[in-house]
Chains A and B, each alone.
Chain A
Amino acid sequence: MSDGKSLQGFSQGLSKGLGPGGPLLSVEGVTKHYGARLGCADVSFDLWPGEVMGIVGESGSGKSTLLGCLSGQLAPDAGRVLYEMKDGLTDTAALGEGARRRLMRTDWAFVHQNPRDGLRMGVSAGGNVGERLMGTGAQHYGRIRGAALDWLGRVEIAADRIDDRPSAFSGGMQQRLQIARTLVTGPRLVFMDEPTGGLDVSVQARLLDLLRGLVREMGLSVIIVTHDLAVVRLLADRLMVMQGGHVVEQGLTDQVLDDPQHAYTQLLVASVLQA
């Protein structure tokens, strides 16, 4: 472990009141098959508090399967996903359904590529942001609304849109609303599946800027899946490159992108169009 990394872990530990730095998430040999077809094979890594991990690869490389396994939405065929909870690293597959749901809406967050998958389209923006609070027992309307207003402000949505439904929002606003909705409970670990997919470039840039600010400010640990190298360059500390279900290369983001070793990574980096 480099000095920079241990320092980062230490400062994160201080700011979040955690014990001396162990990994937040530990992934051991996660493998998932769809029948005879391979989803992802033998993926292992540790994610440290405050770290942003990027997973890149082409469509069908197993990125989303891996993210599904990590976030408890898919059951891996082999391997374990351990998460740092009150009593140390805990196997998330061994948690009961109730405990897993609680985890999903308090400590974890999932940002979907399509905001329609993550939002309740028939419920106002305020209700969307407040849902996680109400799901964890908040029963004071004024305080829920206060938190919703605060979060709409933090993702740059005007306060007077609080009672509008997300269907009246633009794509970029919907994505920002989804982020507010997932972050309102102050999670420690955020899974993001192509958060900027389907947005035009200027909107993407604003969203990335916002995300980067929130990640720094809240000290979030993030696992972000994308095929957009610019996104990981901006956000990710560490990078994992996947091809055909296997991790072909991993390391610090700048190192992987500036000096790619594996043939596929070289191809990927070379394929980026220069504007």
Chain B
Amino acid sequence: MSDYNFAYLDEPTKRMIRRAILKGLAIPGYQVPFASREMPMPYGWGTGGVQVTAATLTPDDTLKVIDQGADDTTNAVSIRRFFQRVAGVATTERTAEASVIQTRHRVPETPLTGDQILVYQVPIPEPLRFLEPSEVETRKMHALEDYGLMHVKLYEDIARHGEIATSYAYPARAAGRYVMDPSPIPKFDNPKLESPAIQLFGAGREQRIYALPPWTRVESLDFEDHPFDPSKAEHPCALCGARESYLDEVIVDDAGGRMFVCSDTDYCAGRRAAGHRGTEAAA
């Protein structure tokens, strides 16, 4: 561990990132440019989230890392090990015990508290990117609050599919001002963006940090006659029987067999430990 500065990044870099984080917290949803560093992992694996986590961690923190809700997938395991090695912080898989949670594509099911920080890995921070290719133009649109194009996208969804078919990275408006991309979390998680925890978003390749301070009002965009619907699969979890959690669909054989299980592994394991049983649970 002594081979590295605490949490890998050098102190001036951490300070630079903290400044960006503070600015982001001051202007909810605004994308703050920062001098993203090379990290010892490829872009797309969470370099932005890792830098934000590194700038946020203190030696007393307990870190949890999830990838699509799971603690045991490659991305989560390697980032958790990385910080064990370079920061020597305690790690956990329990949401309630963690003080810093780095996440890819999910918000934990267990409600967060005011002394937790949730760090999102963001691939594309610009919600207008696929509607307007020019960065100069999108910045101008944010500055002028010119967000009509966002509704054109939702209009196209309804015209094509009969409902708003955008199911992840669902655009939301922070504190009544900036429209932001909440990273590719399912729209089921959008209501959880109004949270007592601090939420930080880091995009390494795109060199942007944005943030939501605790209890920021976050509205998912919609039409008056097609209101926002945080939908999920209409099944209970096959392992723990939960009906309120976001589910993954798992193909179990070559004959079309499938089961639906909680995507949040810690939540599911916690419920099973408390005696809840689903239809497919081992006896």
Kindly state whether residue B243 has any CB partner on chain A within 8 Å: no
Complex interface bits, A227-238 against B, C-beta within 8 A gives 1, otherwise 0:
000000000000
Stretch at the interface among A27-35, A83-91, A135-143: A135-143
Asked if A123 and B144 sit within 8 Å, CB to CB, the answer is: no
Known: A127-B159, A163-B159. A141 touches B152 (CB 8 A): no
Question: A123-155: which residues lie under 8 A (CB-CB) from chain B?
Answer: 123-124, 126-127, 130-132, 134-142, 144-145
Asked if A135 and B146 sit within 8 Å, CB to CB, the answer is: yes
Complex interface bits, B144-159 against A, C-beta within 8 A gives 1, otherwise 0:
1110110110011011
Asked if A97 and B148 sit within 8 Å, CB to CB, the answer is: no
Question: B7-66: which residues lie under 8 A (CB-CB) from chain A?
Answer: none
Bound Cα distance A245, B149 (Å):
37
Bound Cα distance A162, B149 (Å):
18
Known: A124-B156, A126-B155. A141 touches B149 (CB 8 A): no
Asked if B223 and A141 sit within 8 Å, CB to CB, the answer is: yes
Asked if B146 and A141 sit within 8 Å, CB to CB, the answer is: no
**A234 nearest CB across to chain B (Å):** 34
Kindly state whether residue A101 has any CB partner on chain B within 8 Å: yes
Kindly state whether residue A246 has any CB partner on chain B within 8 Å: no
Kindly state whether residue B140 has any CB partner on chain A within 8 Å: yes
Asked if A139 and B151 sit within 8 Å, CB to CB, the answer is: yes
Asked if B223 and A139 sit within 8 Å, CB to CB, the answer is: yes
From A97, A134, A137, give the contact of B144 (CB < 8 A). A97
Complex contacts, B152 vs chain A, CB 8 Å: 120, 123, 127, 130-131, 134
Question: A21-44: which residues lie under 8 A (CB-CB) from chain B?
Answer: none
Complex contacts, A163 vs chain B, CB 8 Å: 159-160
**A228 nearest CB across to chain B (Å):** 33
> Which B residue's beta carbon lies closest to that of A163?
B159
Kindly state whether residue B192 has any CB partner on chain A within 8 Å: no
Bound Cα distance A138, B224 (Å):
9
From A97, A101, A127, A137, give the contact of B155 (CB < 8 A). A127
Kindly state whether residue B81 has any CB partner on chain A within 8 Å: no
Kindly state whether residue A17 has any CB partner on chain B within 8 Å: no
Kindly state whether residue B276 has any CB partner on chain A within 8 Å: no
Complex contacts, B225 vs chain A, CB 8 Å: 140-142
Complex contacts, B151 vs chain A, CB 8 Å: 134, 138-139
Question: B94-112: which residues lie under 8 A (CB-CB) from chain A?
Answer: none
Kindly state whether residue B258 has any CB partner on chain A within 8 Å: no
Complex contacts, A140 vs chain B, CB 8 Å: 223-225
Complex contacts, B158 vs chain A, CB 8 Å: 141
Bound Cα distance A216, B112 (Å):
62
Kindly state whether residue B129 has any CB partner on chain A within 8 Å: no
Complex interface bits, B193-226 against A, C-beta within 8 A gives 1, otherwise 0:
0000000000000000000000000000011111
Complex contacts, A120 vs chain B, CB 8 Å: 152
Kindly state whether residue A4 has any CB partner on chain B within 8 Å: no
Bound Cα distance A231, B149 (Å):
34
Bound Cα distance A139, B144 (Å):
18
Complex contacts, B224 vs chain A, CB 8 Å: 139-141
> Which B residue's beta carbon lies closest to that of A133?
B148
Known: A97-B140, A126-B159, A127-B159. A141 touches B148 (CB 8 A): no
Complex contacts, B222 vs chain A, CB 8 Å: 139
Kindly state whether residue A19 has any CB partner on chain B within 8 Å: no
Complex contacts, A141 vs chain B, CB 8 Å: 155, 158, 223-226
Complex contacts, A98 vs chain B, CB 8 Å: 144-146
**A76 nearest CB across to chain B (Å):** 22
Asked if B223 and A135 sit within 8 Å, CB to CB, the answer is: no
Closest 5 CB pairs of A and B: A135-B148, A134-B151, A141-B223, A134-B148, A98-B144
A residues adjacent to B (C-beta < 8 A) = 97-98, 101, 120, 123-124, 126-127, 130-132, 134-142, 144-145, 162-163
Q: 10 additional contacts, CB 8 Å, given A101-B146, A141-B224?
A: A97-B144, A101-B144, A120-B152, A127-B155, A130-B152, A131-B148, A132-B148, A139-B224, A140-B223, A141-B223
Q: Pick 20 A–B contacts, CB within 8 A, sort by A.
A: A97-B140, A98-B146, A101-B144, A101-B146, A120-B152, A123-B152, A127-B156, A130-B152, A131-B148, A134-B152, A134-B155, A135-B146, A135-B148, A139-B223, A141-B224, A141-B225, A142-B225, A144-B155, A145-B159, A163-B159
